[in-house]
Structure 1
Amino acid sequence: MLLPLLTDSHTGGRSALTCRFRCGNACAHDVANRSGNPYFGDIAAAALSRRGVLQAGALGALVVGAIGAGSVGAAPAAADPGKKPGGGGRPGHGGDLRFSPVPPNKDDALRIPAGYRSHVVVRWGDPVLPGAPAFDFDKQTAEAQAKQFGYNCDYVTLFPMGQNKGLLWVNHEYTDEVLMFRGYSASAPTEEQIKIAIEAHGGSVVEVERVRATGEWRLTTNGRRRYNRRITAKTPMRFSGPAAGHTLVKTAADPTGRKPLGMLNNCGGGTTPWGTVLTAEENFDQYFVNGDKTNPNTARYTIPTDIPADSRRFDKVDERFDLAKHPNEVNRFGWIVEIDPFDPDSTPIKRTALGRFKHEAANSSVTREGHLAVYMGDDSRFEYIYKYVSKNRYIPGHDRHNRTLLDEGTLYVATFTGDSPKEEIDGSGKLPKDGAFDGSGEWIPLVTGDTSHVPGMSAAEVLIYTRTAADKVGATTMDRPEDIERNPVTGGVYVALTNNSNRTPAQADEANPRASNKHGHVLELVEGKGTRFAWSVPLVCGDPNDPSTYFAGYDKSKVSPISCPDNIAFDRDGNLWIATDGNALGKNDGLFVMPVQGPESGHVRQFLSVPVGAETCGPMVTADQRSVFVAVQHPGEIDGATPDNPASRWPDGHQPRPAVAVVWHTQGKKIGS
């Protein structure tokens, strides 16, 4: 299975170099989902209509957790996702968003609005653990990297420790060896290069402190740094939940099937009400070689059945990555991993009850009935949206009890039904006659505890081969479900759907209304009673001059162009912040903000842009709204770039280094003011 050369063109906004290392060039391969599941426009309208869902008590469902690692807050007020209540200046109505938008650009810099400042908090190679050497690009070692900040940073969250200190958690999604090492050869990487790459994956905990009374944050000057930690692809972990100890996760090195080693390709994430991080393993398949051709789940999870030409060759230094020798090792990746940032000696836990797929994120909140709900997307073309609901209730302050909530519950997958005739959804992006892309949906149970709801599959098999189980129950195929976040003001659950150029006009449906969807869209869910929900599409991304775009009905002459929504977040006022990945409009990626209520609903404005070749990740708005953290992933990842011919020199004027930056207002005002 040969991959395209780096000079090949790509249909989206990513470089071929990014596609090669980030996801194993997934778009060059056939779509993994061959289930033949009907698109929701073809599903019989057995679910309630959207109006019926709302009348049945839609919005009585969830209580949101505070931004960051805080405690659970009060229940938000109900809101119809298709309605625009008036009254600018109120929470979520955008009245306080008054900055001048950053124009689209191709600059090799972090561009921010006038009146703001930025600072690089931590970058690839910065010392994290005691004894870590200062970074030296030309003298890298695996031993040093294991103690230094890892490579491409993605999910970012801050765990406060009082008003002016905190713990910053950062995912390290993947490595780009072409940019990391001079003279890198894909056909003959050195053992030390492979070992460095293994150590550069995972995540980091670093102590940070506020600079005086500003919104700036820096690495702590306390030499002790007792909480600092590196998690890598070699860190000992443990399985919990129904699939722990199952035959399919047992290996020669771990015959108990309970002690996996390391985590890979951690993309998005989330936090729990008890102050831990949930980090998501995404494109784990690309690290393995020689998968079993006879197992249908091998193709369903796009696991290589040979040795791809551009493989990182982890198997050369650790044979567990050779599936011909250790066929179950791949089943030990693709999970949500829970990590306690406040205990650097704790063992990370792979929570099998949340299912195994290419996780983009895992964001939790507490239902009105007191149960924990976790929302998750499977970030591939034509994949699904999931939700887990715990069996037992969350009890504030009962830490030991609460940490069992992710081990027993029900895992669901979503189906969507539109409320417009099929002939009105033609793939052009044109609104149906009722003026909105909206409808109803239902959460279909896959497994509850040790009980499977999928014929022919045990509970453990459902959790290990979750994609296959979702195929069997007829889940609705979506346009790359990425981050999923809950609005702390309206209670709506928002889903970033990044893109899907493979969707044909015949496959367009009301929840994925545009064929060849290279710019993506944003979906809102409003939970109803039981397993039902209402949904709408408030944002269809792209060039505002393109008639297929939609900005919640807002005047498109006044909005910023936006393409490929990826990570999303909410500030305390309920404004939606959108980070983009792979801008297909030919400009740098950026961070955007959009009110979701009132007369400003749909008014998308670009708050910052990242350097050339980079992706915007994170983002994270602090609880006091005085700082926003963003991860600048893969700066300079442009086709043809090398260490001797870099496409970017951000952030230090030398080799490009992935980094986390913080932005704040010079007068101490809220972000966006």
Structure 2
Amino acid sequence: MIRRRTALGAALAAPLLAVPRLAAAQRARAPLGPLPLPVKQDDSTAPGWQRDLLMRWGDRVAFDAAAWNPAAQDAEGASGQFGWDARILALATPRQPATDGLPRGVLAVGHPTVDPAMAFPGGEGSPAMLAALQGASLLNLERQGGRWVVVDGGYQSRRLGLGTLCRLGAGSVRGLLGIGGGCVTPWGTLLLAEGDPGFWTSRIPGLDPAGYGFVAELDPFDPQSVPAKRAALGRFPHGDVAATLARDGRAVVYLTDRRVGGFLFRFVSAGPATSDGALEAGTLSVCRMTGENVLWLPLPAGADPLSAAAAAGGTGLDTPSGLGLDPGKPRLLLACQGSPARPSGHVIELTAQGGDDAAPGASAALLFAAGPPGSSAARYGGAGLPPGSAWPENPDTVTVDANGRAWVGTDRGSRDPQQPDALFGVALDGPARGVPLPLYGAPRGAAVGGAAVSPDGGTIFTGVRHPGAVPGARFTRPGTRWPDFRAGVPPRSAVIGLRG
């Protein structure tokens, strides 16, 4: 982390490039190949790649945040620090380069969960402490000396949480809860998706559940931007969101309902995506998937999305979670974490009809079905997985880079199996299509929390979620003390950069 509290303003205040799915040239990376991933207290990285540690639970986000003391945490100090969990949401980059020539960006990271047993020495935290450890962090990034670093006290660095004032319709509501999904839009905003608010509203007195469970929109480059919760996108337990433009310039937002049997939704705005209110009015539809055919079924305006989706005949999916739009082609990837019927999960590719994301239909194809090679559930492309390599199980997040490669992160729910959760690179075209190759293996008890790719393509940012959280673990007896490995210091969720 480098220290600076300056107006990186001119460069970072520029709007995002509002051209959907425009692939940018990216430099070649170190190739991926077969790689076994053992379960261990440390993490693993593919040959030819380096891992940089950028931010950990308790590191300061706000320039005036207090120093972290895990043995004596307080809500006021934690509200300015990086939260307990870490899920990469999006990387916003300015359209115009800075005058000093240094590449910069704003990385959005969600803090969707808090496990009191792992977060507090006594295994229990006050409602105020629980609230302070969740939310989202916006981090200024800067490329220096060939690698990306977090600018300590950067101008756009910001901590969002229960104290954040938000707009909701003609009124307001205090707080963002359980942010677990997000994306940057082509019209220059950041979307933050709230998950199921039930965990929080049952533990924090005075919260009205009706104010939470939305998608909020804000300007990532304006530290004074007030998030607006977009009721037209529906209120339900969101897994992720992805945004693009229809051929006629309208906003298109895909949303997952992260439950077993949950739905995939699509919102198409009533007007062009050119103003602050583009997501205030439009049509919400649910996906019906029949074999390789996808049909978008419009839902009644103002209806409860989940009830209306079921009544319309929407397809219940195997815990639909992560979403990733290909910047070069009109296709969407959907990571389904799994269900009792298909416990290992899978990744589906949806291609918009006629190349238009607002079209009434799409086609669907299986990218891969996860699980041990040779099992009845597993299905991989090409010649299959190379012998001796780790395999994906319970894909939870997916990101597509400008070279047409998907980065899929797994989350087995803190089980302690024969291999760790990992980040896999998967080709979307060519003879190796659908063959996941491991890039990174998380430490014991950790899940992989999403990915974002630097503008030059040389670094992949990923989140390491709740390391050490094996079954039965607690603050004083974790499954690992990654990344500090110091006696008395608990394991810490973190953001890392992988350079190849």
Distance across 1 between alignment mates of 2:141 and 2:289: 43
1:656 aligned residue: 491
- What secondary structure does 1:314 align onto? coil
Map 1:399-478 onto structure 2 (within 5 A). 401-418=274-291, 439-446=292-299, 453=300, 459-460=301-302, 462=303, 465-478=304-317
Residues 45-97 of structure 1 deviation map (CA, whole Å, 9 limit, x = unaligned) = xxxxxxxxxxxxxxxxxxxxxxx954314678xxxxxxxxxxxxxx99xx977
Residues 510-548 of structure 1 deviation map (CA, whole Å, 9 limit, x = unaligned) = xxxxxx211101111111153111111121110012132
2:5 aligned residue: none
Distance across 1 between alignment mates of 2:374 and 2:104: 45
- What secondary structure does 1:337 align onto? strand
1:54 aligned residue: none
Q: Say whether the 8 Å CA contact 2:93–2:455 is kept in structure 1.
A: no
2:103 aligned residue: 164
Q: Say whether the 8 Å CA contact 1:480–1:499 is kept in structure 2.
A: yes
| % identical equivalent positions | 29
Structure 1 residue identity aligned to 2:350: L
- What secondary structure does 1:150 align onto? coil
Structure 2 CA distance for partners of 1:226 and 1:483, relative to 1, 3 Å: same
Q: Which of residues 359, 363, 381 in structure 2 aligns to 1:552?
A: 381
Distance across 2 between alignment mates of 1:75 and 1:608: 27
Structure 2 residue identity aligned to 1:631: G
Distance across 2 between alignment mates of 1:393 and 1:563: 39
1:231 aligned residue: 160
Does residue 590 of the first structure (1) align with residue 432 of the second (2)? no
Map 1:484-563 onto structure 2 (within 5 A). 484-501=323-340, 516-528=341-353, 530-558=359-387, 560-563=390-393
- Structure scoring higher RCO (CA < 8 A, sep ≥ 6) equals 1
1:431 aligned residue: none
Distance across 2 between alignment mates of 1:580 and 1:524: 17
Q: Say whether the 8 Å CA contact 1:156–1:630 is kept in structure 2.
A: no
2:201 aligned residue: 288
Residues 199-228 of structure 1 deviation map (CA, whole Å, 9 limit, x = unaligned) = 11111112221122x1x222225x6x2222
Distance across 2 between alignment mates of 1:349 and 1:480: 27
Q: Say whether the 8 Å CA contact 1:554–1:601 is kept in structure 2.
A: no
Map 1:199-218 onto structure 2 (within 5 A). 199-212=132-145, 214=146, 216-218=147-149
CA RMSD, aligned part only?
2.2
Structure with greater proportional strand content: 2
Cα displacement (A) at 1:623: 2.4
Distance across 2 between alignment mates of 1:538 and 1:567: 14
Does residue 369 of the first structure (1) align with residue 248 of the second (2)? yes
Distance across 2 between alignment mates of 1:526 and 1:539: 16
Distance across 2 between alignment mates of 1:140 and 1:639: 24
Distance across 1 between alignment mates of 2:479 and 2:287: 41
1:611 aligned residue: 443
Q: Which of residues 360, 376, 379 in structure 1 aligns to 2:239?
A: 360
Q: Say whether the 8 Å CA contact 1:541–1:549 is kept in structure 2.
A: yes
Map 1:625-644 onto structure 2 (within 5 A). 625-644=457-476
1:434 aligned residue: none
Larger radius of gyration: 1
Structure 2 residue identity aligned to 1:612: R
Distance across 1 between alignment mates of 2:33 and 2:366: 26
Q: Which of residues 188, 191, 205 in structure 2 aligns to 1:278?
A: 191
- What secondary structure does 1:175 align onto? coil
Map 1:72-111 onto structure 2 (within 5 A). 72-73=19-20, 98-111=31-44
- What secondary structure does 2:496 align onto? strand
Q: Which of residues 314, 319, 331 in structure 1 aligns to 2:204?
A: 314
Does residue 183 of the first structure (1) align with residue 122 of the second (2)? yes
Distance across 2 between alignment mates of 1:417 and 1:123: 43
2:400 aligned residue: 570
- What secondary structure does 1:402 align onto? coil
TM-score, normalised to structure 2, is: 0.89
Structure 2 residue runs without a partner (length 5+): 1-14
- What secondary structure does 1:587 align onto? coil
Distance across 2 between alignment mates of 1:491 and 1:264: 32
Does residue 124 of the first structure (1) align with residue 57 of the second (2)? yes
Cα displacement (A) at 1:598: 1.0
Distance across 1 between alignment mates of 2:177 and 2:143: 31
Structure 1 residue runs without a partner (length 5+): 1-67, 77-90, 246-257, 290-312, 321-328, 395-400, 419-438, 447-452, 454-458, 502-515, 666-673
Structure 2 CA distance for partners of 1:489 and 1:380, relative to 1, 3 Å: same
Cα displacement (A) at 1:385: 0.5
Cα displacement (A) at 1:145: 0.8
Distance across 1 between alignment mates of 2:62 and 2:436: 40
- What secondary structure does 2:61 align onto? coil
Cα displacement (A) at 1:347: 1.0
Distance across 2 between alignment mates of 1:538 and 1:350: 33
Map 1:327-366 onto structure 2 (within 5 A). 329-366=208-245
- What secondary structure does 1:362 align onto? strand
Give the count of matched residue pairs: 469
Distance across 1 between alignment mates of 2:133 and 2:16: 25
Structure 2 residue identity aligned to 1:218: V
Structure with greater proportional helix content: 1
- What secondary structure does 1:144 align onto? helix
1:53 aligned residue: none
